[in-house]
Structure 1
């Protein structure tokens, strides 16, 4: 090829054309990096959002009971639960029955997962036997025991990720790998954000364009129109889902929490030096007394209780239903009087806490059928967007070529100042994006010099 031909060929390329070629290139790289894991995340996310219905079918006999007479004390239910786990197990927390048909949930840390289902009481061991896939979770050290609050009969037990909700959450967040693999999903989410921003730029109508799918279009043109239209139509949902997902990721999450704390938007926290006041002649509250004291002071929502660690410790109480963020509550109760030494409800939350308090349950589909329906449409839309992108790629790609979108000379110089500022903000917020972008820049430099030699 003539070495002077290429510059002359493109010297009249407009700023808009060079800029568009740059964003096409970035959009392609983002899709290449994110698509495999994003597709898995979308499919596993669709499965995860139907957790309430699936768990209702699987665990109705554990979560719900038939009300008969008066409830026994919470202490009696806990005593029964202790018989379903090894004697060395430590009690972590308890969720008392909220509705009349609810069971009591007692959470333990197991000393030895191999004996997670051991029981010193034959009847309790027999009732705990239906717990699903115990043998497959011998490495788990946590367990929840379900107890009938009216009879204190042990209904069953789950360890580790045996429960479908825990399993599907781990599948969606780590693909059933250890937490050290969470970075893969975070990397995909980071590049999905880049796909979203560059995709909106590429779709944005210019001149006489309408940006809507046109009748009569066929082949790659039709795929491109629907790919862009659906991607942009889902852009608001995409931004919410990606943002809320990144808030509890490892590296980007650390950056979000650092920014949150630096501007004073962290949730109210109880002082670390809170202690109970010992009252002569008054014994510390029992579990039932603590539950009653908490119920008198908390909104009408299911609560989770954690007992004091010692005589001067306090009871920790928090809401257990994320689907009702406006009833969120966190309390520290005096172990003798039951008075709240610390109290924080929805009104005390910061703007950031309120946003995540609504955004994260929405991400998980915990607000009911309408939330699940929106997420189902979103998930299917994402699957279509990803697959249609690859359909267009293979329709465009010439045999024997890499299929990279053509990058016009001077394209990188055409990046607007706002684009560089946006990129810098994204790099700070998403460290994995910055690291992978550096690797990508190395590849681009190599391709650039290889093409120059070829010319």
Structure 2
């Protein structure tokens, strides 16, 4: 990605503060480049702080598995790996003896032989969070308890909120959606400007695009580092932008509408018990798979039924770690869902009639629509849990690379500042205004509806882009008025 403020060689005389560069009336494809230069500059200057915060908080979140083990190792891991786990009924009994409060929401089997079983309790005072009791599966000894959020520890939850909304609630989510909405725009503009530049033979070689120019000095060297690093990061940044938008507030809602329209949503598991009469109003519909929602206002179910539901699910072929959720009401089945996020993933789910020891419904990961699979895998990859430590290292490298690119971008802006004795400034001047007047008519005719459609699909991008345009117009009017005042001044 190339900085728009480095279009002229370092040391060239910039326009004076009262000059407004003359707009070229001729329309050509150079106008597209000029517009990209200005857009890339403003997006870089004003959106880069959001991207910097997102990269830094994302870097912290990337290593939550290791941080969890460091902080909560006593709860998450067993003291000694045994040979045969105790039945779930014994583990649940131990957890309930230590913590009789609330009701049983779900039980999550250990992901590995060194991990503890999680007995999840629902308490009204915790809201959408749960109390999770960690039990040694080999001894049925309670290792401890934590307040969790959909299985996440307090530390992971805190870092997730920091990355998602800076602990400012729904209002804070605008920061991350702004970053995700503009990231792909900045990357696309930077790639076009860097790859399509026409200065010298070096620009035509792949090495000239992929590698920084070591012979360059000053702003040219900074630009080379900024752009070449951006090229290497481009695919990963596109991925992070797209996956971040899928669960953002406004763009995420649009994405959900797209999935529904394209029949790309994940299949729903039918949890109705055959032959049972459903309640008049099912307040728990659709929540059976989110451990903690089901059974939150019920009395505890028979702990032995967890073993029965698990046995039926295992016989059906559900291996690995699973989450067992009791029925939401008397007319519903038990739900056993695979919860293995590491590649190759396992997300099969079964509805179990415990009384008759049979599976009444089954959704298989293999049967998910392509869009649903891509969405699910994209989220896991964005969170750094899809390919284990490799995924974490890649995300960390991308986060550090993005922070470096942002640093070099701001450095270029500083290096472009006027340094003459009679004209000193803290930063360089923005690229010339009026680039839209140079756009070819086909670009204008097709571009305006495309931008409007893009603004609908990505509302935060649309609103902030409109803000940039209005601010640019206001600045232009102010500069024009100042120029007119200087012309009319007797001492001009």
Using the size of structure 1 for normalisation, the TM-score is 0.84
How far off is 1:448 after superposition? 2.2
Deviation per CA, 1:248-292: give whole Å up to 9, x if none: 1111111111111101111111247x22457xxxx9971111111
Is residue 409 of structure 1 aligned with residue 434 of structure 2? Answer: yes
**CA distance in 2 between partners of 1:412 and 1:29 (Å):** 18
**CA distance in 1 between partners of 2:275 and 2:172 (Å):** 45
Which residue of structure 2 aligns with residue 134 of structure 1? Answer: none
Deviation per CA, 1:389-422: give whole Å up to 9, x if none: 1111112234458745223435355173565465
Q: 1:354 to 1:428 in 2, by over 3 A?
A: same
Which residue of structure 1 aligns with residue 350 of structure 2? Answer: 331
Bigger mean CA deviation after superposition, 347-356 or 66-75: 66-75
Which residue of structure 2 aligns with residue 44 of structure 1? Answer: 57
Which residue of structure 2 aligns with residue 152 of structure 1? Answer: 140
Which residue of structure 2 aligns with residue 197 of structure 1? Answer: 188
- 8 Å Cα contact 2:41-2:431 kept in structure 1: no
Q: 1:180 to 1:53 in 2, by over 3 A?
A: same
Q: 2:359 aligns with which of 323, 330, 340?
A: 340
Secondary structure (helix, strand or coil) at the match of 1:286 reads helix
Which residue of structure 2 aligns with residue 29 of structure 1? Answer: 42
**CA distance in 2 between partners of 1:35 and 1:306 (Å):** 44
**CA distance in 2 between partners of 1:105 and 1:270 (Å):** 23
Is residue 287 of structure 1 aligned with residue 306 of structure 2? Answer: yes
Q: 1:412 to 1:304 in 2, by over 3 A?
A: farther
Deviation per CA, 1:318-363: give whole Å up to 9, x if none: 2222123542212222232232222112210111122123222221
Is residue 392 of structure 1 aligned with residue 412 of structure 2? Answer: yes
- 8 Å Cα contact 1:312-1:335 kept in structure 2: no
- 8 Å Cα contact 1:313-1:335 kept in structure 2: no
Structure 1: gaps of 5 or more residues? 114-138
- 8 Å Cα contact 1:327-1:346 kept in structure 2: yes
Deviation per CA, 1:348-396: give whole Å up to 9, x if none: 0111122123222221221122222221221111001111111111122
Matches within 5 A, 1:156-305: 156-160=144-148, 163-207=154-198, 208=201, 209-210=203-204, 211-212=208-209, 213-271=212-270, 274-277=272-275, 286-305=305-324
Q: 1:289 to 1:218 in 2, by over 3 A?
A: same
Q: 1:424 to 1:50 in 2, by over 3 A?
A: same
Bigger mean CA deviation after superposition, 320-329 or 297-306: 320-329
**CA distance in 2 between partners of 1:454 and 1:192 (Å):** 35
Count of residue pairs the alignment pairs up = 420
- 8 Å Cα contact 2:121-2:131 kept in structure 1: yes
Structure 2: gaps of 5 or more residues? 1-14, 277-301, 419-423, 484-492
**CA distance in 2 between partners of 1:277 and 1:397 (Å):** 77
**CA distance in 2 between partners of 1:190 and 1:443 (Å):** 19
Q: 1:141 to 1:169 in 2, by over 3 A?
A: closer
Which residue of structure 1 aligns with residue 468 of structure 2? Answer: 440
**CA distance in 1 between partners of 2:50 and 2:99 (Å):** 38
- 8 Å Cα contact 2:251-2:457 kept in structure 1: yes
Give the aligned CA root-mean-square deviation in angstroms.
2.8
How far off is 1:41 after superposition? 1.3
Q: 1:198 to 1:412 in 2, by over 3 A?
A: farther
Secondary structure (helix, strand or coil) at the match of 1:83 reads helix
Matches within 5 A, 1:129-148: 141-148=129-136
Q: 1:25 to 1:329 in 2, by over 3 A?
A: same
- 8 Å Cα contact 1:45-1:379 kept in structure 2: yes
Using the size of structure 2 for normalisation, the TM-score is 0.78
| Higher RCO (C-alpha under 8 Å, 6+ residues apart) | 2
Matches within 5 A, 1:342-381: 342-366=361-385, 367-381=387-401
Which residue of structure 2 aligns with residue 91 of structure 1? Answer: 104
